[in-house]
């Protein structure tokens, strides 16, 4: 890039660098963001389609989870990366609603492009979008229904609706999985300062192919994907007293190089006996605490294994740090960093610790714990792809139920809340006046992408459905009317039990509007070197198919 200055040509960027200015930069960003939204749009809802993603190595992922699709897509364009960030934020914050957030962001930008073509400044659109997002949050609060930790029936509906769009969520499976998810979340939920807090990290999701999705089970404890270290140890222990140790049961090497000179067999024997004695003392310390099960984060020497087996102590080594934390939460044990500090007070309790063979691999089940604050959902399914999708469905369900409990509110689903917000925003737009009202009106139009997509996936006429929904939502008793995809008709979603956490909708609208505002502010894109079709040196055209 070069600029003229006093007749001289001044080189600012290296040759080959590309730059997009003004409307060209805005058009490109809008086209890319809309293409990303369109890529995941068809996956929305229980009748949504799946995507098959094939990596360079030939690995296959089959899913309709928005965050997973965008993560595997390996996008290059900076605007596309911002849309991927929207999905990641949504997934991290609430664990569900990623497709809605990305789709809404793309739709907001596409409609902003129409306003830009009408010579409405980007700053005016951004102000209008900000007001619309704030008003939408207010309406969400007013139209939400209350839910508590004790309302298991409502929470189970939220979980099953969240998982209903996944392949494993068809039929009765989603109801069975929904019950497991709600039980798990309620078990780990804790009340702090009058609020219910759910730490999803303490719900471990373990998966193993084989069996059926109906074989998925909730373990009131922790499943450790390791085996018992010595064949002479018991494979099953009732009333287990569990010790958790963060130090190795082996003779550690010195930090600096050391040389030991042995000149006679007696010296060698003495050295080995001393080593054996040290290991025996370590095992004696474990036994003295009263523990009959030991989980070690580091290694256990073969000789130490032998002594542990002789004392009837079950041992598992090289357990992950995250699993050690979960074991501590589930059993009530304290993690000992030094064997000298280990005492009976540090031990945890589990009704049963057992090694079982699952799909050809040994796994240790720590279960029947007293009021565990860490549990495990063990996902089973016929093949690797199905079990992976089952895991994603469970994670979505956990996120949705946790969000509903923490926020204490839910709304009707099936596109009904989006239609209600659109109706209220159109009324609000007339009160605002000026050019900003046009931005608020297109924000309302963009929200209708959710019911429109659901209608299309159910084989309904999208225009007729939207017209019907608009009419019904103008009535006082029509706020819960949405798209019944199974019945292919407009129906009362709350009565059908199609409900979603308010927090999911709130986060989706906030993420989408902020991402749209960020991309609309950009009027200059400079690239140090050409990146091919993503940013052509001659500038970009309109909403063409080059960015699909």
Q: Give the catalytic positions in this structure.
A: 65, 98-99, 396
Residues in contact with 171: Cβ distance below 8 Å, sequence separation at least 6, in sequence order:
none
Phi first, then psi: give them for residue 375, nearest 5 degrees. -130, 170
Residues 471 and 443 sit within 8 Å (Cβ to Cβ): no
CA distance 150 to 163: 21
Residue with tokens 């793309």: 106
Residues in contact with 288: Cβ distance below 8 Å, sequence separation at least 6, in sequence order:
none
User: DSSP string spanning 125-149?
Assistant: HHHHHHHHHHHHHHHHHHH-EE--T
DSSP state letter for 201: G
CA distance 279 to 300: 10
Q: From the centroid of its chain, how far is CA 315?
A: 33
Question: Which of helix, strand or coil describes residue 235?
Answer: coil
Residues in contact with 110: Cβ distance below 8 Å, sequence separation at least 6, in sequence order:
30, 34, 446, 543
Q: From the centroid of its chain, how far is CA 255?
A: 41
Residue with tokens 């429109």: 452
CA distance 204 to 224: 10
Inter-CA distances, 98 with 86, 400, 506, 508, Å: 8, 12, 12, 7
CA distance 87 to 341: 46
Look at the chain and count its residues.
548
Tokens, residue 411: 């709304």
For residues 97, 415, 158, 164, the Cα torsion angle rounded to the nearest 10 degrees is -80
DSSP state letter for 56: T
Inter-CA distances, 154 with 144, 385, 409, 464, Å: 13, 30, 11, 31
């Amino acid at each position: 890039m070069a600029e003229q200055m006093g007749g001289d040509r001044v080189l600012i960027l290296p040759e080959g660098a590309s730059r997009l200015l003004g409307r060209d930069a805005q058009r490109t960003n809008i086209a890319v963001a809309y293409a990303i939204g369109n890529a995941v749009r068809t996956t929305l809802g229980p009748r949504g389609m799946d995507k098959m993603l094939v990596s360079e190595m030939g690995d296959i992922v089959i899913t309709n989870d928005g965050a997973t699709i965008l993560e595997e897509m390996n996008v290059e364009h900076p605007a596309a990366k911002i849309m991927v960030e929207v999905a990641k934020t949504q997934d991290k914050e609430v664990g569900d609603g990623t497709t809605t957030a990305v789709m809404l962001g793309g739709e907001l930008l596409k409609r902003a492009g129409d306003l830009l073509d009408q010579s409405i400044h980007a700053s005016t659109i951004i102000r209008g979008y900000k007001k619309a997002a704030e008003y939408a949050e207010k309406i969400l609060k007013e139209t939400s229904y209350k839910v508590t930790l004790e309302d298991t029936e409502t929470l189970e509906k939220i979980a099953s609706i969240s998982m209903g769009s996944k392949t494993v969520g068809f039929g009765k499976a989603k109801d069975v999985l929904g019950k497991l998810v709600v039980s798990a979340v309620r078990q780990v939920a804790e009340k702090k300062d009058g609020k219910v807090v759910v730490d999803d990290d303490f719900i471990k999701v373990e998966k193993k192919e084989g069996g059926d999705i109906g074989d998925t089970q909730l373990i009131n404890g922790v499943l450790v994907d390791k085996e018992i270290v010595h064949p002479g140890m018991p494979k099953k222990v009732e009333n287990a007293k569990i010790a958790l140790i963060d130090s190795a049961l082996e003779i550690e090497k010195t930090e600096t190089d050391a040389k030991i000179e042995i000149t006679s067999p007696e010296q060698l024997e003495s050295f080995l006996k001393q080593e054996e004695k040290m290991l025996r003392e370590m095992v004696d310390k474990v036994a003295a605490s009263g523990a009959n099960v030991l989980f070690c984060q580091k290694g256990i020497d073969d000789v130490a294994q032998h002594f542990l087996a002789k004392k009837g102590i079950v041992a598992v080594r090289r357990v992950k740090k995250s699993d050690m934390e979960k074991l501590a939460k589930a059993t009530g044990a304290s993690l000992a960093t030094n064997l000298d500090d280990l005492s009976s007070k540090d031990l945890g309790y589990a009704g049963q610790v057992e090694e079982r063979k699952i799909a050809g691999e040994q796994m240790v089940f720590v279960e029947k714990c007293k009021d565990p604050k860490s549990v495990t959902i063990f996902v089973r399914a016929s093949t690797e792809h199905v079990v992976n999708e089952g895991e994603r469905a469970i994670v979505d369900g956990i996120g949705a139920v946790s969000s509903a409990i923490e926020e204490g509110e839910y709304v009707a689903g099936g596109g009904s809340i989006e239609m209600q917000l659109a109706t209220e925003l159109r009324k609000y737009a007339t009160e605002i006046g000026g050019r900003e009202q046009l931005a608020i009106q297109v924000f309302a139009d963009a929200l209708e992408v959710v019911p429109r997509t659901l209608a299309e996936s159910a084989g309904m006429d999208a225009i007729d459905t939207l017209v019907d929904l608009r009419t019904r939502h103008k009535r006082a008793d029509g706020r819960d009317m949405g798209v019944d995809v199974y019945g292919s008709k407009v129906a009362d979603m709350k009565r059908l039990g199609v409900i979603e956490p308010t927090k999911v909708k709130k986060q989706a609208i906030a993420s989408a509007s902020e991402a749209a505002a960020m991309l609309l502010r950009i009027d200059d894109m400079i690239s140090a070197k050409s990146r091919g079709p993503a940013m052509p040196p001659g500038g970009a055209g309109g909403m063409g198919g080059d960015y699909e």
